[in-house]
Every structure is written in structure tokens, then in C-alpha cells.
């Protein structure tokens, strides 16, 4: 009998390998931009169609390729970047596996045009599903243009696995921003459906932060800097007042490469210590530079995970650097580094691009000469790893950049959800009697609430005096059968959740007009999501009109009886959430929105409640269909019965 083992055809092997490297449009984009940077490009353009599903094109002005390399680059394990194992441990380029182009070409239709400056004519290569279809000399500008069309055209299973357009676009924009933040010395441009989303000129890190996240974000950060023999740190961290509830802008770059690192994230958070309100997330962009020998980026092809030795030491250094930066800020709160000499923030270094061009001077005010402390891309094929030298603040202005443009103050500790005018209309007075009707949820057998149901509050109607607050966290009341303990936070969350969901379902959410409409700048992916969620958001009471620019909206109305502390941020969060596109999508979108809205505004533990507030909270809670559990299934209340008490205390003396 002949052998049954056969070598897989090259194209099939590539297709299988592609699963590792090419998961989604964003992973292709990452590889292409990395190649451009490795090729010494100073200008990189990205053009997308249909969230990258039909086209991802990257054009660079890097060193280009000769005719032979233009074909070789699509072969597996073909790389110009390492020659030996030693090179791997002295890695100064993004790429080294020689896998990305082969993998991409295996699952897409790829067109490459490239020319080296020394050559008169460039090369055109067309490759489809791993098969070269065409190669010929062709006119081309110096550098490389790669078009990746119809990703996964030959792997329907993978194509179907892709997420909604807005999710894929969001991943693409995130990837683009990671790369552009890693190299503020290079020019980056991003367009989608022929519309420019970003054009950001070479500059320093702070300018790039401004151009992506706005001036108030840039002004809300302080520099962090530390040099030790094993680890150097530079970058910016957010002042505590720009911390947000949701994880927003948290970026680590290790030797110029965007990475995720939960352990080091913890170090940063610990560095903030008690400066952050509970549950808040600091913003940071931190560049770590270590000897390449001491890191292993070879952990996963996507390479956002890295391992490096002696993580504990790194942890300690990072934490103390963060602490020191914050102390410095506290000692000198007036530090305002928007005053860096020679910089004009008003004209910024390439802002959020507005296709209508209605923002004069948005990209005009920057040039290469702005003091950036950067080493521009070194020679061809060797991106510089010097990392952006974070411009340190020299100014003494007093601005602290507290989220300007906010409709209301970003955080209002005096906020009282029980203000008379915020009370939800409707009969709540006797709603506690609903206790009688409520059926226990099946998962709750160990607690016997039926007793509350039978007897109601001790001695008839609950009096305000019968309730007291324990540790500003629990509301305790007496039942005929024992004690009732209500978690105030969970209770209010349940109430608001039900209220939000009811408005979203009936579509009758009243809207409260904003006296001062605010403008919200959306990213392209958020604009797509807004279109999809529009009916639901409007039915919740959100109101908006088109802004001056295609990606701007003016918020003119907000849900009337829910106090949303930071409505713009909330909208941003909601637009970035992941929503199912199949099944009962509408219902789960409603659930999710209700959750987000309720989470933003419910009262917290630690808040003192007056007797009437406690009473109202308990009444409203028992008016809910299921007062016993939070929407996530966490218990809201518990009862302690007299028999239980007797059992613990040992019965009659």
C-alpha cells in the first residue's frame, strides 16, 4: 500500500495559516501599515471601502520593492527583516515572520504596485487566493501601494464570521490610531468610502493626541517620564479629573508596538492610588522602551501580547513613575502643557478631518519643525524605535481643561435623583402592596419572600420612620415576619433600568430640551451605529440635529426623567457598544441601552438618604416587576425572618 500522507498544496497551507494572522480587516490593516513603517515610509495613506470588507488599501512612500521582491514577498516565510535567530532578539522592525502578505494573499484578491527610487519603472503584481495572476512592469510612484480586495472571498465561513460594519470599522480605526499614535513623526491619512476621516501631519505625541481625541483630552494629561537601565518610560497620563467610568484611552506601546498588558495596567492604576473616584479608569499613553533582548514578541502573530522578563521590576518602576508624575501635578496644578513654546493648539497638528473643510486651519498649522524630540524614521527597512519623546510641559498657564463643552458639569456629587421634579410620574404610594402579587423567580428558592407577600410591612402601611440606613449602603426595614435589607445601589439601578426599558419599548420617552445644545463629534463607526440606533435612541428621548460637519451632531434633547451625568459620553459609549445584528436584535439593543443608561445615573453606596427618599426608593423598587434581582441577576434585597434570628440567638432564655 502506498503512503497516505501528502504534503498540502502551498495555497491551502497558506489559507490555513492565514487563520492565525488574518482574522479581520483590522488585522490586515495592521500588517500593511507595519510593513510601510518598516519600509521607512514617512507618509502612509489608508483607503477603506465597506469597513474593509471590499477594500483595504495602504499607500506608502517607503523604499519600495524591485521586480523579484514584489513576487517573493507573497511567499511564505519570505522576509527581508531577519536573517538569523540573533536578529530575532535584536528586533528593530515590526515584521519578521514573513507571513502576513502570504496569508493575506491566500484569502483575498491583492494588487501590489511598487517602485524603488532607483528604478525607472515599477512592478505590478496581481495575486488571488494565493495564485499569481499577473506580474508586469508598470508605472508607479516611489513606494508601495497594496490593495486588498474582497477579503475572505474564497472562505465564506470566515466572511460570515465578520462582525457588523460599524464594529469592523471601529476595529480598523482603532488599529489606525494605535499605529499613528506609536509614530507621531509620520504622516497618516485614513479615508472610508472616499471620505477623509483623519489626516494627521507629522508632529509630536501631544499634537497627535489632540488630533485624535481633542484638545480637552490633551490638556487633561501630564507627562510621565522615567529612565532606568532596564526600562525607559515616556508618554502622558490623564489627570484624575479626566478619568472616566469606561475604559477609554489606555495605550501601552512597547518598543513602539501597541500592546495590551493587564499586569502593567494594574501598575498604572495602582500608581493613581486614591486619586481616582471608585470605578474610574485613568487615561494613559505610555511608551515603554526596553532592550529588545529582554522581550519576546514572538508570542502570538497578532503580537499585541508580549512577554518580558522581570515583570515585577517593570511593575514597580512604572507604578512609581505614575505616582511621581501625579505628585508633580499636584504640587504644580497649574502645569499646563498646552503652552509649549512654539505650538499653537488652536490650529493643532492635523485635526479630526472634516470633509466639508469647514474647519479652517485644521491641518495647516503644523509642520515637521515643531519641537518633537523625535527621531524620524531611520534608514529604509528600519523603523526608528526611539519612541516619541513626550514633550514635557513648560508653560505655567492655569487651565485644567475640565471637559469643556459639556452640557452639564462632568461630575456632580450633589446630584440627587430624588429631586421632586425628577420623580417619575405615576402612583407609587401603595405600590409596595404589589408584594402580595409578586411571584418569586425560580432561582430564588433559598429566600422565602412569600412571607413579605403575605404580611406586607409590619403593622400596616410602612412608615418612613420604620426605615433606616445602614452604612449609607443598605436600607433596613421591619417586616411582620422579620427584617428587610435593601441594597440601595442595586435597588435604584433596578428601578432606572425598568424605567429606561419601558420608555424604549413604548417609544414614549419624554425629551427634555437642552438649553445649550452641545456638539458631539462622532467617529465614522459611531455615525454608522447612530444611524442604526436612531429610532430607539429617539424613542428614549434623545434628540439631535445634524451639525455643521457630516460627522457632527448637535444634541438638542435628552431623556426627561433620568439624570444622565455625562450625556455626551454616554452617547459615545452607547454608540461603541457591540449590538447583535441577528436574533431579536431590537430587544437586546433595548436591554443594553437601558443597562448603560441606568448604570450611568443610579445612586451609589455611600450616599446618605433621607427617610422620605428611602421610602420612595423602596416603594418604587416594589413597583418593579422583579424587585429581587438586578438586571444582571445580582440580589437586590434579603429578608431575615424571626425564626432565623431566633435560631441564631438560641430561642427563649
| Stretch binding ligand ADP (CB under 6 A), from 57-65, 217-225, 309-317, 554-562 | 57-65
Among 14, 15, 35, 234, the residue binding ligand ADP under the rule CB under 6 A is 35
Binding residue count for ligand ADP, defined by CB under 6 A:
23
| Stretch binding ligand ADP (CB under 6 A), from 76-84, 212-220, 532-540, 638-646 | 76-84
The 8-class DSSP code of residue 91 comes to: -
> Using the rule CB under 6 A, is 261 a contact of ligand ADP?
no
| Stretch binding ligand ADP (CB under 6 A), from 97-105, 117-125, 245-253, 272-280 | 97-105
Choose among ligand ADP, Mg ion, none what residue 98 binds, the Cβ cut-off being 5 to 8 Å by kind: ligand ADP
The residue with its CB nearest to Mg ion is 95
Among 17, 29, 44, 96, the residue binding ligand ADP under the rule CB under 6 A is 96
Q: Produce one character per residue of 120-156: b if its CB has 16 or more CB atoms within 10 Å, e if not.
A: eebbbbbbbbbeeeeeeeeebebbbbbbbbbbbbbbe
8 A C-beta contact, residue 406 and residue 518: yes
Min dist CB 543 to ligand ADP, Å, is 47
> Using the rule CB under 5 A, is 95 a contact of Mg ion?
yes
Considering the complex, state which of residue 58 and residue 205 has its C-beta at the smaller distance from ligand ADP: 58
> Using the rule CB under 6 A, is 80 a contact of ligand ADP?
yes
> Using the rule CB under 5 A, is 17 a contact of Mg ion?
no
Among 26, 28, 100, 268, the residue binding Mg ion under the rule CB under 5 A is 100
Min dist CB 299 to Mg ion, Å, is 16
| Stretch binding Mg ion (CB under 5 A), from 96-104, 210-218, 450-458, 573-581 | 96-104
Min dist CB 162 to ligand ADP, Å, is 22
Query: Which strands sit side by side in the sheet containing 284-289, from one edge to the other?
Result: 221-227, 232-238, 284-289, 250-254, 257-259
> Using the rule CB under 6 A, is 600 a contact of ligand ADP?
no
Min dist CB 170 to Mg ion, Å, is 23
| Stretch binding Mg ion (CB under 5 A), from 93-101, 232-240, 270-278, 488-496 | 93-101
Question: What stretches of 166-283 adopt beta strand conformation (E)?
Answer: 187-192, 195-200, 221-227, 232-238, 250-254, 257-259
Binding mask 126-155 for ligand ADP (x = CB under 6 A): ------------------x-----------
* CA atoms of 492 and 501, how far apart (whole Å): 14
* CA atoms of 590 and 279, how far apart (whole Å): 24
Among 14, 15, 27, 35, the residue binding Mg ion under the rule CB under 5 A is 35
8 A C-beta contact, residue 40 and residue 129: no
> Using the rule CB under 6 A, is 187 a contact of ligand ADP?
no
Residue with cell 416587576: 625
> Hey, how many other C-beta atoms are within 10 angstroms of the C-beta on 436?
12
Residue with cell 502643557: 337
* CA atoms of 429 and 40, how far apart (whole Å): 72
Question: In sequence order, what DSSP letters do the residues of 392-418 get, joined into one string?
Answer: PP----------TT-SS-S--TT--TT
SS (H, E, C) 264-328: HHHHHHHHHHHHCCCCCECCEEEEEECCHHHEECCCCCCCCCCEECCHHHHHHHHHHHHHHHHHH
> Using the rule CB under 6 A, is 65 a contact of ligand ADP?
yes
Among 17, 46, 53, 60, the residue binding ligand ADP under the rule CB under 6 A is 60
Among 56, 73, 491, 537, the residue binding ligand ADP under the rule CB under 6 A is 73
| Stretch binding ligand ADP (CB under 6 A), from 91-99, 123-131, 298-306, 504-512 | 91-99
> Using the rule CB under 6 A, is 242 a contact of ligand ADP?
no
* Residue 302: burial class (beta carbons within 10 Å; 0-12, 13-18, 19+): middle
Among 15, 27, 63, 187, the residue binding ligand ADP under the rule CB under 6 A is 63
Q: Produce one character per residue of 213-249: b if its CB has 16 or more CB atoms within 10 Å, e if not.
A: bbbbbbbbbbbbbbeeeebbbbbbbbbbbbbbbbebb
Among 52, 67, 95, 417, the residue binding ligand ADP under the rule CB under 6 A is 95
Min dist CB 172 to ligand ADP, Å, is 18
* CA atoms of 91 and 294, how far apart (whole Å): 11
Note the residue count of the chain.
Answer: 653
> Which positions lie near Mg ion, rule CB under 5 A?
35, 95, 100
> Which positions lie near ligand ADP, rule CB under 6 A?
31, 35-36, 39, 60, 62-65, 73, 78-81, 95-102, 144
Amino acid at each position: 500500500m502506498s503512503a497516505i500522507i501528502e504534503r498540502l498544496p502551498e495555497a491551502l497551507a497558506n489559507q490555513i495559516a492565514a487563520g492565525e494572522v488574518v482574522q479581520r480587516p483590522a488585522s490586515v490593516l495592521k500588517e500593511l501599515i507595519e510593513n510601510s513603517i518598516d519600509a521607512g515610509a514617512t507618509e502612509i495613506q489608508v483607503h477603506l471601502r465597506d469597513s474593509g470588507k471590499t477594500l483595504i488599501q495602504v499607500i506608502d512612500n517607503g523604499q519600495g520593492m524591485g521586480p523579484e521582491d514584489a513576487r517573493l514577498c507573497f511567499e511564505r516565510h519570505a522576509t527581508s527583516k531577519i536573517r538569523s535567530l540573533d536578529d530575532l532578539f535584536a528586533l528593530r522592525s515590526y515584521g519578521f515572520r514573513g507571513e502576513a502578505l502570504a496569508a493575506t494573499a491566500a484569502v483575498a484578491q491583492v494588487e501590489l504596485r511598487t517602485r524603488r527610487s532607483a528604478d525607472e519603472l515599477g512592478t505590478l503584481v496581481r495575486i488571488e487566493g494565493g495564485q499569481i495572476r499577473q506580474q508586469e512592469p508598470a508605472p508607479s510612484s516611489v513606494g508601495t501601494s497594496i490593495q486588498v480586495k474582497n477579503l475572505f472571498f474564497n472562505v465564506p465561513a470566515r466572511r460570515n464570521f465578520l462582525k457588523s460594519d460599524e464594529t469592523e470599522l471601529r476595529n480598523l480605526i482603532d488599529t489606525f490610531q494605535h499605529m499613528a499614535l506609536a509614530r507621531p513623526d509620520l504622516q497618516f491619512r485614513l479615508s472610508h468610502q472616499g471620505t477623509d476621516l483623519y489626516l494627521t501631519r507629522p508632529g509630536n505625541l501631544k499634537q497627535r493626541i489632540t488630533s485624535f481625541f481633542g484638545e480637552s483630552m490633551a490638556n487633561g494629561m501630564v507627562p510621565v517620564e522615567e529612565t532606568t537601565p532596564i526600562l525607559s518610560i515616556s508618554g502622558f497620563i490623564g489627570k484624575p479629573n479626566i478619568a472616566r467610568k469606561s475604559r477609554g484611552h489606555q495605550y501601552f506601546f512597547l518598543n513602539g508596538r501597541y500592546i495590551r498588558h493587564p499586569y502593567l495596567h494594574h501598575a498604572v492604576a495602582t500608581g493613581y492610588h486614591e486619586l481616582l473616584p471608585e470605578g474610574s479608569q485613568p487615561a494613559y499613553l505610555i511608551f515603554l522602551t526596553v532592550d529588545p533582548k529582554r522581550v519576546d514578541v514572538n508570542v502570538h502573530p497578532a503580537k499585541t501580547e508580549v512577554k518580558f522578563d522581570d515583570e515585577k521590576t517593570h511593575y514597580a518602576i512604572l507604578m512609581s513613575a505614575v505616582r511621581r508624575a501625579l505628585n508633580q501635578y499636584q504640587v504644580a496644578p497649574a502645569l499646563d502643557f498646552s503652552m509649549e513654546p512654539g505650538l499653537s493648539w488652536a490650529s493643532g497638528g492635523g485635526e479630526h478631518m472634516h470633509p466639508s473643510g469647514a474647519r479652517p486651519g485644521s491641518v495647516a498649522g503644523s509642520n515637521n519643525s515643531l519641537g518633537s524630540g523625535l527621531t524620524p524614521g531611520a534608514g529604509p527597512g528600519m523603523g526608528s524605535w526611539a519612541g516619541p519623546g513626550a514633550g514635557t510641559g513648560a508653560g505655567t498657564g492655569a487651565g485644567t481643561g475640565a471637559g469643556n463643552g459639556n452640557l452639564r458639569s462632568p461630575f456632580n456629587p450633589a446630584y440627587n435623583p430624588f429631586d421632586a421634579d425628577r420623580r417619575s410620574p405615576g402612583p407609587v404610594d401603595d405600590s409596595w402592596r404589589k408584594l402580595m402579587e409578586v411571584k418569586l423567580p425560580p432561582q430564588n428558592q433559598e429566600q422565602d419572600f412569600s412571607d413579605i407577600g403575605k404580611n406586607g410591612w409590619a403593622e400596616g402601611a410602612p412608615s418612613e420612620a420604620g426605615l433606616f440606613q445602614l452604612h449609607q449602603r443598605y436600607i433596613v426595614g421591619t417586616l411582620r415576619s422579620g427584617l428587610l435589607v435593601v441594597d440601595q445601589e442595586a435597588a435604584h439601578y433596578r428601578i432606572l433600568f425598568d424605567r429606561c426599558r419601558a420608555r424604549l419599548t413604548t417609544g414614549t420617552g419624554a425629551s427634555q430640551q437642552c438649553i445649550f445644545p452641545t456638539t458631539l463629534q462622532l467617529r465614522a463607526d459611531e455615525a454608522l451605529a447612530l444611524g442604526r440606533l436612531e429610532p430607539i435612541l429617539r424613542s428614549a428621548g434623545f434628540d439631535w440635529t445634524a451639525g455643521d460637519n457630516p460627522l457632527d451632531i448637535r444634541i438638542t434633547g435628552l431623556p426627561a426623567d433620568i439624570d444622565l451625568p455625562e450625556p455626551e459620553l454616554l452617547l459615545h459609549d452607547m454608540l461603541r457598544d457591540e449590538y447583535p445584528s441577528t436574533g431579536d436584535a431590537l430587544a437586546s439593543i433595548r436591554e443594553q441601552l437601558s443597562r448603560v443608561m441606568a448604570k450611568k445615573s443610579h445612586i451609589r453606596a455611600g450616599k446618605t438618604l433621607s427617610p422620605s427618599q428611602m421610602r420612595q426608593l423602596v416603594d418604587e423598587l416594589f413597583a418593579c416587576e422583579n424587585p429581587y434581582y438586578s438586571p444582571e441577576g445580582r440580589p437586590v434585597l434579603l429578608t431575615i425572618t424571626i425564626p432565623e434570628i431566633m435560631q441564631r440567638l438560641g430561642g427563649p432564655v
